[in-house]
């Protein structure tokens, strides 16, 4: 009995704080999502806010943008990280440490700092355009920040730059735990490098690939710092993410906390759906 009480004493602070700053706000947010009005002047409107989501063109744009980032960026990054980790794991490679450190380095920068650097690099008169022009790859500057299409490309390039090394480290540590004799046996059986990659490496890394893709999906659904600092969501709303839309609804436009809370719940629902789907897909075999 005494140890039981002692045990609860150890965990109580964390339990109270997490309830107070995670679960209680979620209940509050739900309550809020049933109300509408400006600032603190709120009235109950039932599920009106939820209906509004489906006709709100800004919300639809934000969701579409976020999906584009998700569908294009996450697979590119994961495949790139896998390739890099397999290369870095090969025995004969020299300068291994140097390559690994260099590719991992972007992870030490803060999201805001690297976003500002990318914004300058990709400005109309920025270094990227300057170099491309000088090398005659393009004959007029690309609107990396100002064109609706290229602005999305810039955001995707930026996130990929920042997070590929991070994912790579996960795969690298998992690869080091794979028994080398499996590969040797496959080589004797005449398997090609590509065959070994798809038949041995990928299946053995499946749990960690699942973990990183869920983490990346959750991260992308929450995307904020980059769009805020590289494009401000523009041009127009071409790069606006869902998180940024919630921020705008609460702190930039005339505050509509009720509707902002409704959009928040949309993200939670999306995260749950996506995580479930990825579990299903990976759990097939």
Q: Which stretch binds another protein (CB under 8 A): 70-78, 104-112, 138-146, 147-155?
A: 104-112
**Within 10 Å of residue 73's Cβ, how many Cβ atoms?**
21
- Applying CB under 8 A, among 59, 69, 114, 144 the residue interacting with another protein is 114
Q: Which stretch binds another protein (CB under 8 A): 51-59, 67-75, 107-115, 148-156?
A: 107-115
CA distance 279 to 285: 11
Q: Which residues have a Cβ under 8 Å from the Cβ of 129 and sit 6 or more positions away?
A: 122, 123, 138, 141, 142, 144
Binding of another protein by 282 (CB under 8 A): no
For the segment 187-246, give every residue that binds another protein (CB under 8 A).
193, 208, 211, 218, 221-222, 224-225, 228-229, 232, 242-243, 246
CB of 112 to another protein, least distance (A): 4
Q: Which residues have a Cβ under 8 Å from the Cβ of 125 and sit 6 or more positions away?
A: 141
Binding of another protein by 92 (CB under 8 A): yes
Q: Which residues have a Cβ under 8 Å from the Cβ of 68 and sit 6 or more positions away?
A: 152
* Whole-angstrom Cα Rg for the chain: 23
Q: Which is nearer to another protein, 183 or 224 (CB)?
A: 224
Binding of another protein by 113 (CB under 8 A): yes
CB of 117 to another protein, least distance (A): 5
Binding of another protein by 119 (CB under 8 A): yes
Helix (H) or strand (E) holding 261: helix 257-283
CA distance 119 to 195: 41
First to last CA, the chain: 45
- Cβ-in-10-Å burial (0-12, 13-18, 19+) of 208 comes to middle
CB of 51 to another protein, least distance (A): 19
For the segment 155-184, give every residue that binds another protein (CB under 8 A).
161, 164-166, 169-170, 173
CB of 89 to another protein, least distance (A): 11
CB of 90 to another protein, least distance (A): 8
- Applying CB under 8 A, among 53, 83, 186, 200 the residue interacting with another protein is 83
Q: Which stretch binds another protein (CB under 8 A): 50-58, 119-127, 143-151, 195-203?
A: 119-127
Binding of another protein by 120 (CB under 8 A): yes
Contact 84, 168 (CB under 8 A): yes
For the segment 38-77, give every residue that binds another protein (CB under 8 A).
none
Q: Where are the beta strands (DSSP E) in the chain?
A: 35-38, 41-44
């Amino acid at each position: 009995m005494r140890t039981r009480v002692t045990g609860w004493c150890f965990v109580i602070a964390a339990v109270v704080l997490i309830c107070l700053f995670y679960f209680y706000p979620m209940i509050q947010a739900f309550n809020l999502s049933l109300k509408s009005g400006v600032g603190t002047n709120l009235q109950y409107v039932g599920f009106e806010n939820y209906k509004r989501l489906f006709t709100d063109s800004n919300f639809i744009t934000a969701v579409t943008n976020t999906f584009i980032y998700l569908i294009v960026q996450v697979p590119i990054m994961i495949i790139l990280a896998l390739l890099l980790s397999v290369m870095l794991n090969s025995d004969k490679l020299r300068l291994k440490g140097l390559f690994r450190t260099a590719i991992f380095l972007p992870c030490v920068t803060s999201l805001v700092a690297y976003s500002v650097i990318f914004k300058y690099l990709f400005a109309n008169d920025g270094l990227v355009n300057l170099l491309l022009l000088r090398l005659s790859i393009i004959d007029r500057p690309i609107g990396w920040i100002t064109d609706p299409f290229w602005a999305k490309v810039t955001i995707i390039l930026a996130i990929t730059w920042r997070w590929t090394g991070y994912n790579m480290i996960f795969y690298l540590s998992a690869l080091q735990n794979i028994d080398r004799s499996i590969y040797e046996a496959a080589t004797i059986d005449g398997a090609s490098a590509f065959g070994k990659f798809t038949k041995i490496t990928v299946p053995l890394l499946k749990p960690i690939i699942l973990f990183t893709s869920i983490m990346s999906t959750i991260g992308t659904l929450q995307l904020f710092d980059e769009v805020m600092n590289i494009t401000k969501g523009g041009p127009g709303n071409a790069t606006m993410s869902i998180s940024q839309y919630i921020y705008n609804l609460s702190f930039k436009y005339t505050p509509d906390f009720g509707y902002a809370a409704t959009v928040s719940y949309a993200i939670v629902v999306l995260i749950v759906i996506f995580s479930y789907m990825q579990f299903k897909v990976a759990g097939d075999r």
